[in-house]
Every structure is written in C-alpha cells, then in structure tokens.
Amino acid sequence: MEGILTINNVWMMICTALVFFMHMGFALLEIGLTRQKNTINILFKNLFIITVGLLLYCLLGFNLMYPGEFNGYFGFAGFGLDSPLVDGSLDLAYSEGYTYWTDFLFQGMFAATAATIVSGAVAERIKLNSFMIFVILYVGIVYPIAGSWKWGGGFLDEMGFYDFAGSTLVHSVGGWAALVAIYLLGARIGKFKDGKIGAFPGHSMPFATAGVLILWLGWFGFNGGSVLSADPELTSLTLVTTCLAAAAGGVASFIFSSILYKNYDITMFLNGILGGLVGITAGADQMSPTDAILIGAIAGVIIVMGVALIDKLKLDDPVGAVAVHLICGIWGTLAVGIFGNMAGIDQFITQLIGVGAYAVFCIVTSFIIFYVLKLTLGLRVSAKEETEGLDIHEHGMDAYPDFGLNQK
C-alpha cells in the first residue's frame, strides 16, 4: 500500500512541476504576442501571480476550496495549512493518490493560472497596482469559493456537474474576469479607429511559439495530474486525448482561418492548439481518441470565430484570452454532455447549469473588483504612459536595452 502511494505521489509531484512550468509558457506567449515596450510589465505580472498566488492559497485559498463538511456554497476550514497527523507523523491515509502536502501544491498551481489568463487580456494598458489588487482578491477569495462548488464537494458536485481538470473551474473562471476587465478598460490607443481594426503585431513570434509548446507540455501535468494518481489506464488515456485535441485544434484553426483570410496566420495556429487543450480539459478522462479530435477541431474553429467576434464587439484582447479560455472553456464543459460517459440531455443541462452558475458568480465578483478599482485607484495608465510603454514608466527599464529604440 505504501509503495503504491509513493508511486502515485511521485507522479503527482512531477505533474505539479509541469503545471508550474506552464507559467513560463504563459509568460513567453504573452510577451511574444505584445509589443516590446511592455515586456517587463508582463513578466512582472506573471511573477507576481505565481508568488502571491501560492502564498494566498496557503494562508486562505486551500481551506476555502476544500473546507470539508459545508453547506455546498461557502465554507472555510481556517487560516493556514494544518496537515493531518497520526502519532505525530503525516497521515498517509489522507489519499491513495498523494499526500496532503502534494495536494496543496498541485492545487495551488491551478489557482494561480486563473489570474494569469486575465493578465494577457489586459496587457499593455492596465495599471500595475490595480492589477495586483485584483489578483489578491480573485486568487485569494473568488477562485477558491468557485472551486469549492465542484472540486470541494459543493452543490454543483452533488448535482452531477463534471469538470475533470478545469475547462470551467480554471479557464472560464479566468475568462469571465478577462472579459469584464477588457470591457471596463477599453481598447488600446489606435486599436479601433475610423471603423477599422488596427493591427498591433507581437514583437516575437519565436517567444509566442515556445510559450505554446511549453503550455502543451505543461498540460501533461494539468490533465494527467487531475487523475489524482498514477493509474496507468486513466493517465495514459488522458495524455492521448489531450494531445489529439491540441493537434486537431491547431490544424482546424489554421485551415479555417486561411480559408477566411487567405493567409497562414501563425497566431491562429497557436491559439487553435490552446483552444483544443482548453476544450478537452473538462472531459479528458472520458473521451475516445475520435471524440478528442472532434472536440479539438471544433475548438479550433471556435477560436477563429471567437477572435473575430471579440473584434466586432470592439473589445481589445491582445492575446486572444477570451476566445481561448472562456469560449473554448464553455465548449469543453458542454462537450462532456455530448461525448462523455454520461452524455445525454440531462447531463448536458447539468453542464449548462454549471456554466451559468460560474458565469454569474465570476462576472459579478470581477465587475465589483474592477469597477471599485476604476473609481478609486483607476484601471488604466495615461495615454503618454501607454504610448511610450509601461516598461519605462512602471519599471524604469527596457527589456532589451542593447536593442532599444533610444540607444545612442
């Protein structure tokens, strides 16, 4: 028994490391798809999210998300971590798949991801102080409460709502906040002018591509670790469905976008891969390879239409976060009711109720946080700061001093 626990726990720790590595992927993707003058600002935000996110999850979030016996909507098991002990040693009967400490660290990596999604959407024009306050409140309070409704044994779990690794609980939770944020922030200067959509090319497609490949690798831990053990059948199936959905999402996205726009757009290719990954995440343990390909391919098409819809609504999302994480997160969650082991009208309706519950909660809470910040500290930097770049004004340095425009 102890030998099996050790094997399971080692696998979970490897998966934890892979999910941690995803934050490097997010950072590279975001800086790659945005302009050089805001690179340090984006890197700073990503570092802040993972460091403060882990501290908050230790002090508050873990026991909000997993409160034990509670009313199904809100519970709190107390501040800080308090490991279960037996005769003065860690209780190895805590779980068959991992120890208490591994459980905390794995879940803590997920918590930080929700705010990272927002970081990309608000890039290049949000005040750093306001963003940091948002992260503290959203990661520290909102995300754990939302997570408790399903993964903590809350009312949605009792209802039968299914989200294996977080298409809704992580990606849509971040995606709804991103949508609210870009609505309240407004578009970057010059993005929508005289009825036309301005193009702001990212400064490094190599960085963006490396970021997506790192994220794809990290998803082996994101979905593979969500099996919560090293079960050979479930982990191997999960990794296969995850990879096939990613591949199908990328191929479908670049083919569909090339038909519409008559060029091979690598940003659509990259976001299509991510859309496939987000789409399969809710049911990766339930799908056949063919189902995974279909889910990923549909997600790839959704990405292209989602990006176009966001532009049409005159909402400015520099990295396509809303299309990837919110829209494909919704699709992946509903796909469980179409393709999953419990597929049928009842399960589909249950999935729809779950999507709706998270939509209301996340829209309301993120709107309150951002709107109060807008009325007090302000959300947006000045036009001068935005034009000249946040790196110089917020951080007093250039990401590439040897190649800067002001080099003498």
CA 352 – CA 89 distance, rounded (Å): 44
Q: How many domains does the chain have?
A: 1
Burial of 294 (0-12, 13-18, 19+ CB in 10 A): buried
If we measure between CA atoms, which residue out of 70, 78, 177 comes closest to residue 120? 177
How high is the pLDDT of residue 408?
35
If we measure between CA atoms, which residue out of 170, 134, 133 comes closest to residue 150? 170
> CA torsion, points 47, 49, 50, 54, in degrees to nearest 10?
140
Q: What is the 3-state secondary structure (H, E, C) of 28-95?
A: HHHHHCCCHHHHHHHHHHHHHHHHHHHHHHHHHHHHHHCCCCCCCCCCCCCCCCCCCEECCEECCCCC
Convert the pLDDT of each residue in 293-310 to its tens digit. Answer: 999 999 999 999 999 999
Identify whether the C-beta of residue 354 lies closer than 8 Å to the C-beta of residue 168.
Answer: yes
The answer to whether residue 374 sits within a structural domain is yes
The answer to whether residue 215 sits within a structural domain is no
Q: Is the dihedral of CA 51, 55, 61, 62 positive or negative?
A: positive
The answer to whether residue 60 sits within a structural domain is yes
**Residue 138 CB coordination number (10 Å):** 27
Residue with tokens 């905390």: 104
Cα 32 vs. chain centroid, distance in angstroms?
17
The DSSP code for 404 is -
CA 229 – CA 152 distance, rounded (Å): 18
The answer to whether residue 213 sits within a structural domain is no
The answer to whether residue 66 sits within a structural domain is yes
The answer to whether residue 214 sits within a structural domain is no
How high is the pLDDT of residue 52?
97
Identify whether the C-beta of residue 118 lies closer than 8 Å to the C-beta of residue 367.
Answer: no
How high is the pLDDT of residue 404?
52
CA 182 – CA 117 distance, rounded (Å): 12
Q: What is the CATH number of the domain that holds 181?
A: 1.10.3430.10
CA 303 – CA 277 distance, rounded (Å): 12
Counting as low any pLDDT under 50, the low residues of the chain are: 406-408
The answer to whether residue 300 sits within a structural domain is yes
How high is the pLDDT of residue 318?
95
> What is the extent of the structural domain holding 79?
2-208+220-403
How high is the pLDDT of residue 407?
42
